[in-house]
Structure 1
Amino acid sequence: MRSKILLFPIGFALLAACRPEDPVPKPRAYARVDTPASHSYQLFDQEAFPYSFEYPTYARISRDKLVFDKSPDNPYWLNINFPSIGNGVIYLSYKTINGTQTLEKLLDDAHFMSYYHTKRADYQIPYDFKNEYGVNGYLYEWGGEAASKYQFVATDSLHHFIRGALYFDVTPNADSLKPLNDFLKQDIQHLLKTMRWK
């Protein structure tokens, strides 16, 4: 009987000691994303397309199904997907320069869509480029919390016009996306350096 009386306070003390502590929330953080060790490229050169370029071996090209299903007259719009790099996507839209789609109108539309980001961006830096294949245009770099860090325009000023933009399927946060944007900037520059018209 005496042992039962002693066990009761000991048992009560053990149960009281096992009471869970008040939960403490973990600090906010972002998932770590590892980028490939180096940049390597492959050629996109499909016969039906009026352009070709080199793109990363760790990327996948797909047709922009949303656009193609609604408007099959845009068969040359592509997505360059980076599933292992934050699910980033470079959206490429192609237009033929003609009487209704003049170079001036296409440039105005591209500038309007690019400058839409000024609402959230801290700054914008335009870079001109011209590659050895006669492709020229602009690469825009946006700073701050813009939805797209890099956007570009590539053209021959006579027949071909491409607009591109890099997006990630996350809420824009310049700090967390910085390593991914920094890594993919080189791939975008390589794409523009190797783009050519057919």
Structure 2
Amino acid sequence: MKFNYLHKLLLVPFSFLLCSCGDEPIPKPNCQLSLEYPSASYDKLASKCNFEFDVNTLSEVSFKENCALEVNYSKMKATLYLTYKPVDNNIEKLLRDAQKLTYEHVIKADDIIEQPFVNSDTKVYGMFYEVGGNAATNIQFYVTDSTKNFITGSLYFYSKPNFDSILPAANYIKADVRKIMETMKWK
């Protein structure tokens, strides 16, 4: 049997089908950085100030003037700034200033979630703010006994705010801030 022109025409497409069988190339998704941090362990912060709380052992605490503190997270390139102010018939002003500081970020924030905090046993009352989006700070809070002591806190990263990039670190530090609020005791 002779190969005629029709057989040759059919042989060419079938040979391409046989050669092209195999795994289809699949585009790979953009890779995302997987940031994992060790489990947190806490120690009581020793200070001469009117308060004490538990602080993450991976952080470095430095004391400033008037019982202000900086809790540095060098691996995450972040600092939690704590400011202490005595209450002297000015609780309304302190509360208003703390709320104003948080809501100044509303321009860049996608949302601001308020979570009240109350511990009647230790007389610690406050508010935890989670600022979503590309705001300069992602976490702010205040705690007070409403008669003598008032502390505000703000978390800042050493980079341009990009919420998706800093989210794992922000979540890790958010747990530390909650621990600070939960373990706060007035002297």
User: TM-score of the superposition, structure 1-length normalised?
Assistant: 0.75
Alpha-carbon separation, structure 1, partners of 2:70 and 2:34: 21
Q: 2:46 maps to what in 1?
A: 45
Q: How is 1:136-175 mapped onto 2 (pairs within 5 angstroms)?
A: 136-175=125-164
Task: Please name the residue that 1:97 is paired with.
Answer: 87
Q: Note the residue ranges of structure 2 that are not aligned, 5 or more in a row.
A: 1-30
Residue identity in the other structure for 2:72? N
**In structure 1, distance between residues paired with 2:175 and 2:44:** 16
Shift of 1:133: 1.3
Contact kept, 8 Å, 2:83 with 2:152, in 1: the verdict is: yes
Q: 2:24 maps to what in 1?
A: none
Q: Given that residues 44 and 52 in structure 1 are in contact (C-alpha distance below 8 angstroms), is that contact kept between their aligned partners in structure 2?
A: yes
Alpha-carbon distance, 1:33 to partner = 7.8
Alignment size in residue pairs: 157
One-letter amino acid of the structure 2 residue matched with residue 115 of structure 1: Y
Please identify the structure whose Cα radius of gyration is greater: 2
| Aligned match of 1:111 | 99
CA apart distance, 1:63? 2.2
Q: Distance in 1 between matches of 2:63 and 2:55?
A: 15
Secondary structure of 1:84's aligned partner:
helix
| Moved >3 Å (runs of 4+) | 32-35
CA distance in structure 2 between the partners assigned to 1:44 and 1:37 by the alignment: 20
SS of equivalent residue, structure 1 residue 149: strand
Tell me the distance in 2 between the aligned counterparts of 1:154 and 1:78: 14
Question: How far 1:158 moved relative to its partner?
Answer: 0.5
Aligned alpha-carbon RMSD (Å): 1.8
Partner of residue 17, structure 2: none
Looking at structure 2, the residues matched to 133 and 148 of structure 1 have their Cα atoms a distance apart, in angstroms, of: 28
**Whole-angstrom CA distance in 1 between matches of 2:36 and 2:123:** 32
Matches within 5 A, 1:55-74: 55-64=55-64, 68=65
Q: Is the 8 A contact 1:45 1:51 kept in 2?
A: no
Give the TM-score normalised by structure 2: 0.79
Distance 2:123 2:169 in 1: 29
Would the aligned equivalents of 1:35 and 1:183 in 2 still touch at CA under 8 Å? no
Q: Report SS of the residue matched to 1:108.
A: helix
- Tell me how far 1:182 sits from its aligned partner: 1.1
- 2: distance between equivalents of 1:33 and 1:169? 19
Are 1:192 and 2:178 matched, yes or no?
no
